[in-house]
Structure 1
Amino acid sequence: MNNFAKIIEVQRGDMKFAYVQNDEINYLELFDQFLAEEGHHELLDPSDKLERYTYLIDHNESKFIFKIDGGIEHRLERRLIAKITGDFYFNLIRKLAKISLDNADIAYELYLVAFDQKTKRHYMIFNFIEGRSLKWEEMKEYGEQVKNCIEKLHSYNLVSNDIHGGNFILTPEGKIKAIDLTNSGFIWLTKANDAIELKERFDIKIKVPFFAMPIKKFTHGFKRLSRKIRGKED
């Protein structure tokens, strides 16, 4: 049984780890086992981004997602924000642990984060969620669940920032869970992105910070105008 109240952080050579204490699974050992067998696992959804891979792991009759992210952020503003707010994935594991501790059951679970300070690679171990992605037309059908899911995520200062069916999993029990979350940058503004996308694409209304919505509506309008001036499709 997981004890999500306990996040252990250790340094091992050039590798920094944060992982969930578990009475049954040693995630450090699982991490080492994967690296020893890298290339022998099922590759899921190959990314077009350099050095970004997602694998499916079978371990003791359980399935896990192992993700490698070697992408380096080159945008100065994003790098400055990261300096202020801290490492994206290390913040994410703490927030998702709080969700699990509260039994909110609205997103995936993140069990381990590792950062190689030499190669700048991040490694993550997630749980595998049984089910399928929502189809575009199903977003309205499950609109109330989607709305509750996003509003709860916002209460933990997590956002989607890319609202579409592929970022929501429908479990065999009929439960909606969010994947591919964001927790960096100016979250109070990014919450408005979720609200705008939900309203414009699926006519779903959610609550967001009061001043965030008019600011985001202005910037969205400005971007659309800029694209039209440049002759690009919206």
Structure 2
Amino acid sequence: MNNFANIIEVERGNLKFAYVQNDEINYLTLFDQFLAEEGHHELLDPSDRIERYTYLINDNQNKFIFKIDGGVEHRLERRIIAKITGDFYFNLIYKLAKMSLDQCDIAYDLYLVAFDKITKRHYMIFNFIEGRSLKWEEMKEYEEQVRYCIEKLHSYNLVSNDVHGGNFILTPEGKVKAIDLTNSGFIWLTKANDAIELRERFNIKIKVPMLAMAIKNFTHGFKRLSRKIRGKED
């Protein structure tokens, strides 16, 4: 059984880990096994971003998602924000653990995070959620669940920041769960991105801080005007 109340942080050589204690599965051992067999697992949804890969792992009738993110942020403002707010994935494992402890089952579980100080790669082990992505037209059909997911994420200072069907899984039981979450940067402001995308793409309304909405509405409007002046389509 996973003990989300107990997240262990250790360092091993150039690797730094944070992982959930589990009486039945040793996630450090699972991590080592994957690295030893890298390239022999099913590659899921290859990203167009360099050094980002997602694999499916089968381990004794259990399925896990193993993700590698070797992307290095080159934008100065993003690097400054990361210095202020801390490591994206190490923050994420604690926030998702809090959700699991609260039995808030609207997203995935994150069991292990590792960071290689030399290669700057991040490694993650998630649970595998059975189901399929929502289609664009289904977002409105499952409006109540989608709204609930986003509002609950916001209550844990997590956001989607890219609201579309591909970032929601519909389970065989008909439950909607959010994936591909964001928890870095100025979350109070990023929440407005979710509200704007839900409103403009799917006519779904949620409440976020008024100041954040005002700032984001202004910047979105400015971007549209800029694109129009340059003759680019939205």
TM-score under structure 2 length normalisation: 0.99
Match of residue 20 from structure 2: 20
1:98-131 Cα deviation digits (max 9, x unpaired): 1111110010110000000011000000000000
Structure 2, unaligned stretches of length 5 or more?
Answer: none
Percent identity at matched positions? 87
Q: Please state how far the C-alpha of 1:176 moved relative to its aligned partner.
A: 0.5
How many angstroms apart in 2 are the aligned matches of 1:216 and 1:169? 27
Tell me the matched-pair count: 234
How many angstroms apart in 2 are the aligned matches of 1:207 and 1:185? 20
The ranges of structure 1 where at least 4 consecutive aligned residues each deviate by more than 4 angstroms after the TM superposition are none
Match of residue 48 from structure 2: 48
Match of residue 220 from structure 1: 220
1:8 partner letter: I
SS at match of 2:54: strand
1:51-82 Cα deviation digits (max 9, x unpaired): 11110000010100000111000000000000
Q: Please state how far the C-alpha of 1:229 moved relative to its aligned partner.
A: 1.0
CA RMSD of aligned residues (A): 0.6
Match of residue 6 from structure 1: 6
SS at match of 2:57: strand
How does 1:93-132 map onto structure 2 within 5 Å? Answer: 93-132=93-132
Q: Please state how far the C-alpha of 1:89 moved relative to its aligned partner.
A: 0.4
How many angstroms apart in 2 are the aligned matches of 1:55 and 1:103? 26
Q: Please state how far the C-alpha of 1:35 moved relative to its aligned partner.
A: 0.3
2:142 partner letter: Y
1:59 partner letter: D
Match of residue 30 from structure 1: 30
How many angstroms apart in 1 are the aligned matches of 2:114 and 2:220? 35
1:12-58 Cα deviation digits (max 9, x unpaired): 00000000111110000000000000010000111111111110000
How many angstroms apart in 1 are the aligned matches of 2:209 and 2:2? 33
1:35 partner letter: L
How does 1:1-234 map onto structure 2 within 5 Å? Answer: 1-234=1-234
SS at match of 2:214: helix
SS at match of 1:174: coil
How many angstroms apart in 1 are the aligned matches of 2:92 and 2:122? 13
How many angstroms apart in 2 are the aligned matches of 1:51 and 1:166? 21
Q: Please state how far the C-alpha of 1:210 moved relative to its aligned partner.
A: 2.2
How many angstroms apart in 2 are the aligned matches of 1:105 and 1:86? 25
SS at match of 1:218: helix
How many angstroms apart in 2 are the aligned matches of 1:124 and 1:232? 38
TM-score under structure 1 length normalisation: 0.99
